[in-house]
Structure formats: C-alpha cells, structure tokens
Amino acid sequence: MGETLPGAASRIPSGAVARAAVRLTGVRKSYGQLAAVAGVDLEVAEGEFFTMVGPSGSGKTTLLRVIAGFERPDAGRVELRGVDVTSQPPYARDVNTVFQDYALFPHMTVLENVEYGLRVRKVPRAERLRRAESALDMVRLSGLGERKPVQLSGGQRQRVALARAIVNQPEVLLLDEPLGALDAKLRQEMQLELKRIQRDVGISFIYVTHDQEEALTMSDRLAVFNQGRIEQIGTPIDVYERPASDFVAGFIGVSNLLERDGRHFTVRPEKVRLLAGGEIVPPGSHSEGGVVEEVVYLGMLTRYVVELAAGGRITAVRQNLEIAADEALATRGQPITVAWRDDQTYEIGDQPGVPAAQSEGIGL
C-alpha cells in the first residue's frame, strides 16, 4: 500500500464527535409539479461512508446533484464544512463526483487520466505525477499507468475513475451508482475495495445506490429514500433490524409484514424457525401453524414460504447444513409450525421499530 494522499482527512477516533462535512437544511427540488426532493434535512460527518438508497425516482440522485452543484435547489441550504455553498457552481465546491459510466478520456493513458484535474489546476508536473502514482497505488493499479482505458477491465476502469477523483483531495466524494455496470461477482469485490479505499483516504463518501445489499455492506450510515423524502436514517444494523416503516421493512432486504389485531409487525426470514412435528416452541417465542406453500433451493440456503392459518404468509430461510435438498423440497404442502422470538418482532409505525415484547398490549 502506498502513502496516504497529502491532505487526506484522518479517520475519526472511536467515540469522537465528528463535525458535519455536509449539512442540508430544508432542501427542495421540483421539476414542474413533481417534487423530486421534498424538504430534506441531512448531516454527513467527516470521514463517514454515507449511502443514500432507494428505488428509481425516489430523489437520491437529484439530491446528490444538488450537493455537487449540478442542480440548484428551489429552497433550502447546502453547507460544506459549515460554509454555505448553495449558490456556488460545481467547480467552486470542494467535492468530486464518480459516475457509473467512468467518463475516462480514451485517448489518454491511465496516468494522464488520473493527473488531468491536477494539470487543469496547474499543479507542477513533478507534484502531479507523484500524487497520481500515489492514487493509482491506493486503488491497486500500480504499474498500469501507461495503459489506455480500453486495455483495462470494467473494474479497473472504475478504479481509475476513483483514483482521478481522490487525487484532487476533495473534502467530499460523491458516487452515483458507480458499480452499476459491473457483473455481480466483480460488483461484490469492488464494494469491499471501495470501503477499504474510503478508510485509507479518510474522505467523506456519499454513495447513491438502489441496491439494498450494497448499502448494508458498505455504509457507516444510510438514508432510505422514498418519494423525495427520507424514511429512515441509521446504521445498517438499525435500519435492517429496526425498520421505521412498512416501506423500509419491505425495501431493505426481505421482511415479513404481519397484521394481528390491527397492528403491523415485521420479522426477518432468518429469525423465523421451522419446527418439526412435536418440536417444542422455544421459551419466549411466538408460534403459529401453517402449510408450506413453496420451497426454493438456493444452494447455501433454502427459502420456505408458509401460508399461516391465522392469515397471511411468512418467509423463512434455513441454512443447508445437515438437511438434504430432496428432504427440503419434500416439505412442500406439509403442515408446519413457525416460531420467532418476541424481541425479534418489531411493530411498524411512525417511529423506529420497537420490539413487540416492549410494546404494551401487543398480542404476539
């Protein structure tokens, strides 16, 4: 690993209170009658990997463009490290953006692409070469500086685009679905690489994706967007384990939404146990009977869809540790009991999910 880029922010010590690298207050942006961003308040800390996740049209990319300066908000305020930049053009803001299509110059070498921004800023040649080579080292592309982009794989070209962005030492790096064009295996590898690079350089990353697994894998915190608004902000564990709304529960991962006695609850498939005939329900657990409607073999896992006698369906997953595939598939159409612990069932409402065991009067 090469040297840390000069000027890169240091990592925030554990327990320290970080100041905001980006602060948005009441940001609104409309296109005609459509409110793409409908009054967003948001703070991203220095050195944080922050992800904005949501379906297409939820407002996340528009908000990223507002932060970058490519779009002017209709209302609200954008601050970078406490400075109001709402009316500043993109080139005046200390941010860089990495896009899905890489936007590399095909006629330039890899090294020339990386140092291009420094050349525009009239950084002396020796300094820009040193910084460009350091950036390539950081993204593990040392020795490839003389190649042209066409000679690189998709993952390598994405790393070049990242090196070109971080070589300018921005306070904030904005990433607009940068891994969207990669195949599934390479995408997973690049997720870990991006997180490593972010930790090494210490720059605040604001990442946009519609991929829920990507958001959970990479983020220090994430914001779930829906129809121009933020439904929930929190750590991956908070958002996954304690969803604040039906939308969050259904969008982030797979979740079972149940209604009993007029109350809405969620329980994740991996928390649901499948009990064989005569198996005792574990203490502190809620159980219901049903029939196995569908069985899907997924290699490491088997997914079961159970039609509940009390109404509704529930999905459970079981690791294929000792059960054979044929044995799992044979349960289709068979009666079964499902159970889950009360403290792993969350009531859905306007506030973050509360364990059912802590919610007064919930009959689960």
How many CB atoms neighbour CB 252 within 10 A?
A: 24
pLDDT at 322: 66
Instruction: Give the angle 35-38-43 at the CA atoms, nearest 5°.
Output: 140
pTM of the model: 0.81
Q: Give the number of other CB atoms < 10 A from CB of residue 267.
A: 25
Q: Given this chain, do its domains 20-241 and 254-358 carry the same CATH topology?
A: no
Backbone angles phi, psi at 299, to 5 degrees: 85, -95
Using DSSP, state whether 225 is helix, strand or coil: strand
With CA atoms as reference, report the closest residue to 307 among 284, 288, 326, 321: 288
pLDDT for res 175: 93
The fold adopted by the segment(s) 20-241 is: Rossmann fold (3.40.50)
pLDDT tens sequence for the chain (364 residues): 344 444 444 334 334 345 799 999 999 999 998 999 999 999 999 999 999 999 999 999 999 999 999 999 999 999 999 999 999 999 899 999 888 777 889 999 999 999 998 988 899 999 999 999 999 998 888 889 999 999 998 888 888 988 998 898 888 999 998 887 778 888 888 888 889 889 888 899 999 999 888 999 999 999 999 999 999 999 999 999 888 888 898 898 888 888 888 878 888 999 999 987 778 888 888 899 999 999 998 888 899 999 999 999 999 998 887 666 677 777 888 899 999 988 888 877 544 444 444 443 333 4
Structure token pair of residue 212: 């829920």
Three-state SS for 198? helix
Q: Where are the domains of the chain?
A: 20-241, 254-358
Cβ atoms of 27 and 64 within 8 Å: the answer is: no
Q: Which of 220, 215, 222, 293 is nearest to 253 (CA)?
A: 215
Q: Token match 């463009």: residue?
A: 65
CATH fold group of domain 254-358: OB fold (Dihydrolipoamide Acetyltransferase, E2P) (2.40.50)
